[in-house]
Amino acid sequence: MTALAEKANIITSSLDFIVNWGRKNSLWPFPYGTACCAIEFMSTETARYDLSRIGSEYVRFTPRQSDVLLVAGTITYKQAPILKRIYEQMAEPRWVIAMGACASSGGFYDAYCTVPGIDHIIPVDVYIGGCPPRPESFFDAMFQLQEKIQDESYMKARAERVKEQLEMIKAKTAECKENAEKAVKNAVSCGVQTIKEGRDNLMKKVAFWKE
Amino acid sequence: MADCEKLLAILEEKFGAKRDLADKWGFTVLVERENLHALMLFLRDDQSAKFDVLLDIVGVDYLGFKDYEGPRFAVEYVLKTMKAPVRRMRVKVLVSETDCKVPSIADLYAIANWQEREVFDQYGVVFEGHPDLRRLLNHAEFEGHPLRKDYPAHKRQWLSTNDYLLPELEARLESKGYKIVARSKEVMPNDDEYLEGSRKV
Amino acid sequence: MIVINPNGEQQALMPLNVGPSHPATHGCLRYMAAMDGETIVACETEIGYLHRGFEKMAERGTWQQVLPYTDRLNYCSAIMNNIAYCRAVEEMLGVEIPERTKVIRVIVNELSRMADHCICVAAAAQDLGSTTGFFYLFDSREKTMVIWEKLTGARLTNSYSRIGGLYRDLYNGFEEDVLDVCNTAERNLKDVHACFDRNRIFLDRTTNVGVISPERAISYGWTGPCLRATGVASDLRKDEPYYDYETYDWNVVVGTKGDVYDRLMVRLAEIEESIKIVRQALKRLKPGPIDIVDPRIRVPAHALAYQDMEALIGRFRSVYEGIRVPKGEHYCGSETANGELGFTLISDGSGKPWRIKVRPPCLTQFAAYQELVEGSMLADSMATLSSINIIAGELDR
């Protein structure tokens, strides 16, 4: 065994698999807890349910360092611009879980001040029903999110991004070329004009001196 | 109950208050709004009354109330005493829609400041003499007063950007004896943006 | 911003925005502080980030349909809100609930008070950096949750109480479960006291922080544990007893200074008092009816509806038309975990409430917040915030 271990070990795998495996097992949530669901999320964290079993114990309260935006609770119109801003501050890849009836659809607060579902503001990956959902259903949502991440392709996304970039570069080059041609044309026409003017002047001068 | 009768007699004589018969379970007096401030001062400080806790200020809209005739709005003050047999009473002021004003009692009870702001927010009743009357629960761009009976429950209003809270902070600093010389640049991008989110003057 | 302070010196202050998305502000509070170094010079608070229209919603349904909304006022102790609301409506209706219901209501009331205080102190411990205390306190809370699950089917927002009775009777083995929770809570309390009582860091961060005088607290309308921490022995369960609270043997806990330490310790001591009440109440449990017999108020049992015409009509009417509460206006306050939760009910005699105004205990406490933190350090403002136990659902409704 030791002899084997000392030798160079190689595992062959696809890059997608290894990237997704890493991502899905260390999902750091950002608990955007506003109401009752946040209390239930606290229960999920503590000893009886223990969220750290699936690698999410590291609750980050800054959008820059988290992967999952966990919207737990009612979002009102006063809160909406803040939620949007927090979402925009998160780095890619990012996922959103709408926890509970209020975040998913506004719940039974069908009033002048509540947003009827956070999908009016930001895209959502997983919805959890319940008012508030039990910790078990929260776990279920995390597993579903993990499945979703497993199906995502890092390489495909990268290829698409590269494609976009290539197209952008092409477009830029074409634009630059066009600009350069225009500039050359302008310069040439300017040059021709100056020569013409010079010749005209010369002719005038010649005519003057002839007289 | 005998206590209430005695107090009612004093209030009737001094401030022209009447007993409100809608409250069959407790003790409520109706008072004209001109006498409100003096009455509350009396209730807070007089030895026979000593209602030193203002629990709540309630706004009511009676639009469409069954068998009701009178001014559209009412503002109710819920009071209680601190001393051992807790006594409670409520003071009610009727306000008409056209002249929707009530004197503020923010100088008597510290909590009245926020509670009056809430009633103003939800019903549009203006409290005269309030130090800083602005919305408490709804956002700054909200139009109308949501708890009025003629405001539809589903009428939603989006908010574009959040309140900067800086003018309020400056006012607070000034009330503490500070004088603002210059505003900081990094939180004050420009005047237009600044005015957009904060309260409209 | 550059200012001239009252002494006439020029000073540079930094405006700092805290919240609403900040771990210590519990999601929905925001304040703007003018900082001089680490010290808060002036503070301006803003609320309303969880204003979800409880009062407008309550006007749309019948009197019973308000019950689930009251759950979500103070969601840490939902049952207490149900009971406070039901008590207010029952006073208007002028009905007396059966003896067994009173005792059950006392038991669930005190259990939820325990859970609420647990969550408050646990969150405060977490904000002060003590994760151990957080886990100890949540342990006994989780055990209460198991009881709620067995009793009502829901963990957090239970809707257990009904106007004129209860949703259902106790299950078999309830007494043993409750006693088990009491024992666990007592054991955990010992552990928590061992964590905090002689902990230098905890003492330094909480004593003489966020002090308020009793006069000022009364002017702000404070009630409940926060007012008792300033030394005023005011508890509605003693002052205006309901559900025979005066016949139980327990004490009102008061503090001395009104600082953060007192507020947290009053809560911990109240857990012990609640356990006392629960143990005594368990001995008073006697078999009997839990609902009042009046089809106009309490819906007849489901089984009866298939046999009895009157019961069927009663069920039908109470669902479609609602309870007819006599016309009038009434205020009724009950002692909940945070202070006096009052309901101003206005009825026009029909099946729907005309107006329900909640008197939230949190609002009064948060209104005083700017006075509490001005002059203290920024880190102390976090300790103060968690000690006054702001529940946003109740604060903004």
Cβ–Cβ below 8 Å for C75 and A36: yes
Sequence-separated (6 or more) residues with CB below 8 Å from residue C268: C117, C121, C189, C192, C193
User: Which one of B156, B160, B162 has the shortest CB-CB distance to A112?
Assistant: B156
Helix (H) or strand (E) holding A97: strand A95-99
pLDDT at B101 over 80: yes
pLDDT band at B2 (very low <50, low <70, confident <90, very high): low
- β pairing state of A68-72 and A95-99: parallel
Tell me which long-range contacts C267-273 makes (C-beta under 8 A, separation of at least 24). Answer: C267/C117, C267/C120, C267/C121, C267/C225, C267/C389, C268/C117, C268/C121, C268/C189, C268/C192, C268/C193, C270/C113, C270/C117, C270/C225, C271/C113, C271/C114, C271/C117, C271/C118, C271/C185, C271/C189, C272/C186, C272/C189
3-state secondary structure of A150: helix
State residue C51 phi and psi, 5-degree precision. Answer: -75, 105
Q: Where in chain A are the domains? A: 12-152, 154-211
- In a 10 Å sphere around its CB, with 0-12 CB exposed, 13-18 middle and 19+ buried, how is residue B185 labelled? exposed
Asked whether residue B168 falls in the same domain as residue B150, the answer is: no
Residues paired with residue A98 on neighbouring β-strands, in sequence order: A71, A127
- Is the domain of B44 the same as that of B84? yes
SS3 C177: helix
Residues of C contacting chain A (CB within 8 angstroms) = 20-23, 26-28, 48-53, 56-57, 68-69, 72, 75-76, 119, 123, 134-135, 138-139, 141-142, 145, 155-157, 392-393
| Complex ipTM | 0.85
Instruction: Give the three-state DSSP class for C347.
Output: strand
Contact C55, C355 (CB under 8 A): yes
Beta bridge partners of B128: B103
**Angstrom distance (rounded) from CA B112 to CA B108:** 8
What pLDDT digit, counting tens, does each position of C56-67 carry? 888 888 888 888
pLDDT at B63: 86
pLDDT at C72: 87
Question: Could you tell me if B45 and B72 lie in one domain?
Answer: yes
Cβ within 8 Å, pair A109-C52: yes
Same domain for B106 and B32?
yes
> C395, C363 in Cβ contact below 8 A?
yes
User: What radius of gyration, in Å, describes the C-alpha atoms of chain C?
Assistant: 22
Instruction: With cut-offs at 50, 70 and 90, classify the pLDDT of residue B131.
Output: confident
Residues C82-124 pLDDT 10s: 999 999 999 888 888 888 999 999 999 999 999 999 988 988 8
Q: Which of B153, B158, B162 sits opposite A82 (nearest CB)?
A: B162
pLDDT of residue B1: 56
A54 is written with which tokens? 């699936």
What is the least distance, in Å, from the CA of C241 to any CA of chain A?
A: 30
Mean pLDDT value of segment C325-334: 88
> C268 and C191 in contact (C-beta within 8 Å)?
no
User: How many A/B residue pairs have CB atoms within 8 Å?
Assistant: 32
Sorted by sequence, the CB contacts under 8 Å of residue A195 that are 6+ apart come out as none
Domain that holds residue B199: 160-201
* B75 beta partners: B59, B93
Question: In terms of Cα–Cα distance, which of C153, C355, C359, A148 is closest to B111?
Answer: C359
Give how far Cα B179 sits from Cα of B187, B189, C6, C297, Å: 19, 22, 8, 62
CATH number for the domain whose boundaries are A12-152: 3.40.50.12280
Answer yes or no: do A81 and B162 touch at CB < 8 A: yes
Q: Which strand (E) or helix (H) includes residue C10? A: strand C10-12
Q: Which pLDDT value is given to residue B194? A: 44
Contact yes or no for B196/B161 (Cβ under 8 A)? yes
Q: Is the CB of B160 less than 8 angstroms away from the CB of A77?
A: no
| Total structural domains within chain B | 2
Both tokens of residue A192?
A: 């021709």
User: Chain C residue with minimal CA distance to A62?
Assistant: C22
Could you tell me if B184 lies within 8 Å of chain C, comparing CB atoms? yes
DSSP state of A54: G
Up-side HSE of residue B60: CA atoms within 13 Å toward CB? 29
* Candidate from A8-22, C36-50, C231-245 with smallest mean pLDDT: A8-22
Residues B84, B9 within the same domain: yes
Tell whether B11 and B66 lie within a shared domain: yes
Q: What is the Cα–Cα distance from C162 to C64, expressed in whole angstroms?
A: 8
Closest CA to C193 of C130, C248, C116: C130
For residue A159 the two structure tokens come to 């290829």
Instruction: Tell if the CB–CB gap between B181 and C2 is shorter than 8 Å.
Output: yes
Judge if B100 and B78 occupy the same domain: yes
Find, in chain C, the residue whose alpha carbon is nearest to that of B80.
Answer: C221
Residues 109 through 128 of chain C touching chain B, CB cutoff 8 Å: none
For A115, the token pair is 């947003």
Q: What are phi and psi of A30, to 5 degrees?
A: -110, 100
Partner-chain contact B178 C15, CB within 8 Å:
no
**Residue A3: predicted pLDDT:** 65
Q: Choose among B76, B50, B17: nearest CA to C342.
A: B76
CA distances, C329 to each of B12, B23, C88, C96, C277 (Å): 21, 5, 11, 19, 33
Residue B164 pLDDT greater than 80, yes or no:
no
In whole angstroms, give the CA distance from residue C277 to residue A193: 105
Number of H helices, E strands in chain B: 5, 8
Same domain, B108 and B144: yes
Look up residue C173 and give its amino acid: G
For residue A59, give how far its alpha carbon lies from the nearest alpha carbon of chain C (Å): 10
Task: Tell me the C-alpha distance between C334 and C236, whole Å.
Answer: 7
Residue-level pLDDT at C278: 92
Q: CA-to-CA distance for C297 and C292, rounded, in angstroms?
A: 8
pLDDT for position B201: 39
- Whichever domain contains B32, its CATH number is 3.30.460.80
Q: pLDDT above 90 covers what percent of chain A?
A: 10
* Residue-level pLDDT at B185: 57
Residues B38 and B83 in one domain: yes
Mean pLDDT value across residues A109-138: 88
Indicate the average pLDDT of chain A: 86
B199: pLDDT confidence band, cut at 50, 70 and 90?
Answer: very low
Per-residue pLDDT tens over the stretch C175-213? 999 999 999 999 989 988 988 888 888 888 888 888 888
Among C44, C89, C370, the strongest candidate for a mutation testing the B interface, having the largest count of B CBs within 10 A, is C44
Identify which of A85, A152, A91, A88 has the alpha carbon closest to the alpha carbon of residue A125.
A152
Domains in chain C (CATH in brackets) are: 64-342+377-392 (1.10.645.10)
Q: Which residues pair with B90 in a beta bridge?
A: B28, B78
Residues B13 and B39 in one domain: yes
How near does any CA of chain C get to the CA of B69, in Å?
13
Chains in contact with B, counting 3 or more C-beta pairs less than 8 Å apart as contact:
A, C
Chain C contact present for B142, CB below 8 A? no
Residue in B91, B56, B25, B90 with CA at minimum distance from that of residue C92? B25
Q: pLDDT tens digits, residue range A128-172?
A: 988 888 888 988 998 999 888 888 877 777 888 888 889 989 999
Q: Answer yes or no: pTM beyond 0.90.
A: no
Q: What burial letters (b/e) apply to A187-198, b meaning 16+ CB within 10 Å? A: eeeeeeeeeeee
How far apart, in whole angstroms, are the C-alpha atoms of residue B39 and residue C298? 42
Distance from CA of B13 to the nearest CA of A (A): 45
Same domain, B51 and B120: yes
B99 and B23 in a common domain = yes
